[in-house]
Structure 1
Amino acid sequence: MPVIGVLALQGDVREHVLALEEAGADAKPVRRLAEIEAVDGLVIPGGESTTLWKLATAFELMDPLSKLIAGGLPAFGSCAGMIMLADRLQDGVHGQQTFGGIDMTVRRNAFGRQVDSFERDITLRDDEYGEPFHAVFIRAPWVERAGPDVDVLAEDNGRIIAVRHGALLATAFHPELTQDRRIHKLFTQIVKGSS
């Protein structure tokens, strides 16, 4: 059973831990570098990307996490976590940094402010169930451009909202806020395949 850490700086940590456990992983919150180095995969939850960046800087995690991800640590980012896994940002605040790893440009708050949050059924590509996934978007980003090696897993009205790049997975929405565990099962399978 893979051990997957959920980066516990802010966001839906508890919800991701529960979703991962239901998807067949041994999941736990992680905050320190030694804890992160001991897991097989890492989830970067939603929240606020500039706050995540500042907290990761304060905990001295920016460079080590960037290196771990570049070195092959499987990672899944939801919402702000998608922003943190992007190689490039559009509409980032001055000096904002990401962990990077996915060859994509992400636009922060692309779907609008908090009051513009919404839920919608989406179709996941190559999903054996074929049933719509009920996606929750909260101040969500979208992918402006994805590199040629990035697999687009879902779109909403032509906007890219879920991608996979090797052992890295990212969604603009919050799968941990639903009872549908397909995304967490996919990430658990990615982590198993990488160990």
Structure 2
Amino acid sequence: MSPRIGVLALQGDTREHLAALVAAGAEAITVRRAVELDSVDALVIPGGESTTMSHLLRELELLEPLRARLADGMPAYGSCAGMILLATEILDAGVSGRDATPLHAIDMTVRRNAFGRQVDSFEDDIGFAGLDGPVHAVFIRAPWVERVGPEVTVLARAADHIVAVRQGRTLATAFHPEMTGDRRVHALFVDMVTGRA
């Protein structure tokens, strides 16, 4: 039976993540309300703007239900802004009152916009632990990981910085695999959800 995986549909590449999950063998739905969050086996948090996403999570009364599901062990995958939100600590979190809010799902410290502004966005082929061959990675105002806890596995680096990690059944990348047509990262996540990886 296919896992039911939600994509947090507040901002970002929602449609692309849905398509990648379906191609990887999951049933995929959008999540904007607590009742939808309750109906999924796992969640993808896409890219976007982490302070805006945090604000919308609070406004839609999703922040605490999402934190509770993550604390209870719901698998999650975050790309770019999603990686930022899954962290325990966010550096350069934003202006007071509109800060990016950590969800405390992966024991890591993440720096927002670490690779630079929009004009500094880039693409690179990077090695990714557990996948055959390099992954073509698209970095858009991307974060990087500055610290990982003892239970976090580093999966990929770019320019000597950590850009992909895993802790248990939670995965995060600083880049956007949904934009390239390479479905291996999503397939890895689906396998994590079902217990095959």
Same structural fold, with TM-score higher than 0.5 when normalized by the shorter chain: yes
| C-alpha distance after superposition, 1:50-108 (max 9, x if no partner) | 00000001001111101110110100000000001000011111352122210000000
Query: Is 1:125–2:132 an aligned residue pair?
Result: no
Q: Secondary structure at the match of 1:52?
A: helix
Structure 1 residue 124 displacement after superposition: 0.4
Q: Please state if 1:89 is matched with 2:90.
A: yes
Q: Partner letter of residue 155 of structure 2? A: L
> What whole-Å deviation, never above 9, does each CA across 1:157-185 have from its counterpart, x for those lacking one?
22000000001100000000011111000
Aligned to 1:16: 17
Match of 2:180 in 1: 178
For the Cα contact (< 8 Å) 1:109–1:141, is it kept in 2?
Answer: yes
Q: What CA RMSD, in Å, does the superposition of the two structures yield over aligned residues?
A: 1.0
**In 2: Cα distance, 1:126 partner to 1:77 partner:** 18
Task: Show structure 1 runs of 5+ residues with no match.
Answer: none
Partner SS for 2:150: coil
Which residue in the other structure is 1:112 paired with?
116
Q: 1:121: Cα distance to partner?
A: 0.3
CA deviation string 1:103-143 (max 9, x = no partner) = 0000000000001001000000122x2x1110000000000
The equivalent residue for 2:73 is 72
Residue 100 (1) aligns with residue 104 (2)? yes
Q: What does residue 152 of structure 1 align with?
A: 154
The amino acid of 2:153's aligned partner reads D
The number of residues matched between the two structures is 192
Which aligned runs of 4 or more in structure 1 are off by greater than 3 angstroms? none
Q: Distance in 2 between matches of 1:105 and 1:179?
A: 29
Report the residue type matching 1:147 in the other structure. Answer: G
CA distance in 1, matches of 2:171, 2:194: 14
**d(CA) in 1 for partners of 2:192, 2:130:** 15
Q: For residues 101 and 132 of structure 1, what CA distance do their matches in structure 2 show?
A: 26
Superposed counterparts of 1:156-167, under 5 Å: 156-167=158-169
CA contact (8 A) 1:63 1:99 kept: no
Give the AA of the match of 1:48: E
Aligned position for 2:44: 43
**SS of the residue aligned with 2:195?**
helix
